[in-house]
Structure 1
Amino acid sequence: MDSPHGAAVKAENFGLKGPRGWAFRGIGVDAAPGSLIAVEGPSGSGRTCLLLALTGRMKATEGHAETGGHRLPKRMTAVRRIAALGPVNGVNELDQALTVAEQLREGALLQRRYEGSVRALLRPREERSAATAARIDAALAAAGLDLATLPKGARTSVRDLERLESVRLSVAIALLGAPRLLALDDLDLKLSDAEREQAWALLRGIAAAGTTVLAVCSEAPADATVLRTGPADASSTGDDAGTDNDTEDTKGADDALAEAGRA
């Protein structure tokens, strides 16, 4: 039997401290490949920092974690190779000046340039173009984004997309490289209740197909493996994590994000 494509995610007493306090602390999880994992908490509670740490984009300062068998923070580069990151403000965002087609082509080009084999890069241009088009079509199908339904089709500007359409486009771009872990920030931001259900249904389908999904949200669905951030949850670890107040946690998370944006 083939091994699962998704990456197992494990953590024990995982934490990150910035210059002005803890971004997150005391995180523990043991999620199998193909799991749907939700990082739940209020804005400013370190949710995004935890997502970045588990995907190898931010270095934790306490405890340890493993993503796809790669121990963190020691093997951050290896984790980055298997974890695709959706838009994160100041770190990795959709380009509002591009059309949907241009954004997809740029995503495919970057994936091919940094992750493709030398042999693939040396194939004839027609073969590369056909392979790229097939990958884009497959990713769009998996993300549930039908370009024909957009106001100007593939020529629709990214800035003119509805919020759920932006989520689907982000997912499609992330899936171009066939990642073992798909990570999304602020999944339920500015979504109606009906749209939120559609977004989670999309991620359930991706997880069911074998890719582990990690999504930041304000309210997790009942069927997800939930990681909670914030001082109230940190205090339950039984150590001095609860001594940091809301302001310190928020500043710690902001500092860590600012550092990630400069990296």
Structure 2
Amino acid sequence: MITAEGFGLEGPRGWVFRDVTFTAPAGSLIAVEGASGSGRTSLLLALTGRMRAGEGHAEVAGYRLPRQLAAVRRVAALGPVDGVFELDPALTVGEHLRERVLLQQRFGDSLRQLVRPRAERQAAGRLRVAEALEAAGLDPATLPKAERTAARDLERLEALRLGTALALLGRPRVLAVDDADHKLGPAERDLAWAMLRGVAAGGTTVLAVCTQAPEDDAVVVRTHPPVAAGGPDSATGSGIGTGAGGNAVPTSEEGASDAHAAAGSA
């Protein structure tokens, strides 16, 4: 489902990530492990067609990057990513779900689906919501105000589950999740990985950014802390991958932001 060979992105101040090489079959759980500022989110965005890499190549669901960005965006959905896709704190859980279903039906579905009677579209929307919530492990009935619970009042794991459910409404072939283990205790972290593992077991390839990868069957791609521009690693890309993973050697955290602004393609 996803392969990368010598995949890299350089910003004005240096490499954001570089020399990423790995292969992951369909239905894999891919953990992009690294510290904050190590280029891990930029790699996530590049592999889902939201940023344009400038070195090497990758393939997602048979589409080649960086040439076929739009095609990759159609098959790869984003969960919550700061500054790219975030939950609206003022909207309720139910409002988030209804809004996403309407957007999916208007812009994501085929013409054949759009011309179905309204009752059929509504029934199909309810089924999508039920399937997505089940896959994400989120039961709105257990929330303080059920579907009327505002996003701002969700616990971190609940927000992760909601963001995942919203992404799954489009039935993507690839699900990308940023900060999968951010601000989670050990027990909650295990629950988050179990949820993402379940999504992968259902056939959707999962690409998850994390600080610490799970210790089981995940494909691990490690990114490394930035080094000074022009430093020894910036020229050689000397990161070390593990297992089926690759490596990435960015040179500055600022380079990631600049590359996102200058090279990104949403």
TM-score by length of 1: 0.90
1:241 to 237, 240, 258: 237
Distance 2:70 2:250 in 1: 32
Query: Residue type of the partner of 1:117?
Result: S
1:111 to partner: Cα distance: 1.5
Query: Does residue 257 in structure 1 map to residue 253 in structure 2?
Result: no
Q: 1:82 to 1:247 in 2, by over 3 A?
A: closer
Residue-by-residue CA offset, 1:91-116 (whole Å, 9 max, x unaligned): 11111110000001111111122211
The runs of 5 or more residues in structure 2 that have no matched partner are 240-248
SS in 1 for 2:31: strand
What is the rounded CA distance, in whole Å, between the counterparts of 1:231 and 1:64 in structure 2? 22
Matches within 5 A, 1:9-20: 9-20=2-13
- TM-score when normalising by structure 2: 0.89
Aligned length: 253
Out of 184, 190, 193, the residue aligned to residue 197 of structure 1 is: 190
Give the match for residue 5 of structure 1. Answer: none
Do the aligned residues in 1 keep the contact of 2:14 with 2:234 (CA within 8 Å)? no
Inter-partner Cα distance in structure 2 for 1:178 and 1:201 = 19
**TM-superposed deviation, 1:261:** 7.4
**Alignment match, 1:228:** 222
Matched residues in 1 for 2:237 and 2:254: separation? Answer: 15
- How far apart are the structure 2 equivalents of 1:128 and 1:118? 12
Q: Which range moves more in the overlay, 43-52 or 120-129? A: 120-129
User: Among 122, 127, 136, which residue is 2:129 paired with?
Assistant: 136
8 Å contact from structure 1 (residues 167, 187) kept in 2:
yes
What residue is the counterpart of 1:80 in the other structure? 73
Alignment partners' CA distance in 2, 1:149 and 1:140: 12
Q: Secondary structure at the match of 1:88?
A: coil
AA partner of residue 96 (structure 1): P
From 37, 59, 72, the equivalent of 1:66 is 59
One of 127, 138, 145 as aligned partner of 1:145: 138
Conservation of the 8 A alpha-carbon contact between 2:226 and 2:250: no
Maintained 8 Å contact 1:44/1:254: no
The alignment's C-alpha RMSD in Å is 2.3
Partner residue, 1:3: none
Query: What does 1:168-183 correspond to in 2, within 5 Å?
Result: 168-183=161-176
One-letter amino acid of the structure 1 residue matched with residue 175 of structure 2: L
- SS of corresponding position for 2:38: coil
With over 3 angstroms needed to count, the CA separation of the structure-2 counterparts of 1:90 and 1:210, relative to structure 1, is: same
- Kept in 1, the 8 Å contact 2:16–2:42? The answer is yes
Partner of 1:101: 94
Mark the CA change 1:19 to 1:240 in structure 2 (over 3 Å): closer, same or farther. same
Cα displacement string for residues 1-25 of structure 1 (whole angstroms, at most 9, x for unaligned residues): xxxxxxx100001000011111100
Aligned equivalents of 1:72, 1:247: Cα separation in 2: 19
Q: Secondary structure at the match of 2:41?
A: helix
Higher helix share: 1
SS at match of 1:16: strand
Is 1:37 aligned to residue 30 of structure 2?
A: yes
CA distance in 2 between counterparts of 1:200 and 1:93 reads 20
- Describe the shift of the 1:15–1:167 C-alpha distance in structure 2 as closer, same or farther (beyond 3 A): same
Mapped partners of 1:236, 1:145: distance in 2: 47
Matched, 1:206 2:199: yes
Compute the displacement of 1:240 (Å). 2.6
**Amino acid in the other structure paired with 1:215:** A
Distance 1:163 1:35 in 2: 24
Task: Report what 1:4 is aligned to.
Answer: none
Aligned in 2, Cα 1:32/1:230: closer, same or farther, shift over 3 Å? same
